[in-house]
Amino acid sequence: MASPRDVQRALDEIADNPSFRQDLINKATSVRDAMNAGDYGMNQNRAAEMHFLIQGLGRT
């Protein structure tokens, strides 16, 4: 499990590195689209959660 310090380091990197943040947005968008297309075969579609992640990353 990540320590509070590890979590803060990850958040700082996302906030301070626009290219990394954009890469996360691109990957999350791809996953969300695949989930909505039914490509993952999951019992529960988590696309809505991915959408909120994408929105949050876009505001950083």
Q: What is the pLDDT along the chain (60 residues), one digit of tens a residue?
A: 999 999 999 999 999 999 999 999 999 999 999 888 888 777 888 889 999 999 999 886
Tokens of 58: 């876009």
Residue 10 placed within a domain: no
Quote the pLDDT of residue 45. Answer: 84
Give the range of the structural domain holding residue 50, as residue numbers without chain letter.
15-59
pTM to 2 decimal places: 0.78
- Give Cα 5 distance to the centre of its chain: 20
Average pLDDT, the chain: 91
Per-residue pLDDT tens for 28-44? 999 999 888 888 777 88
Burial grade of 50 (CB within 10 A; 0-12, 13-18, 19 or more): buried
Residue 4 placed within a domain: no
Instruction: Work out how many domains the chain is built from and give that number.
Output: 1
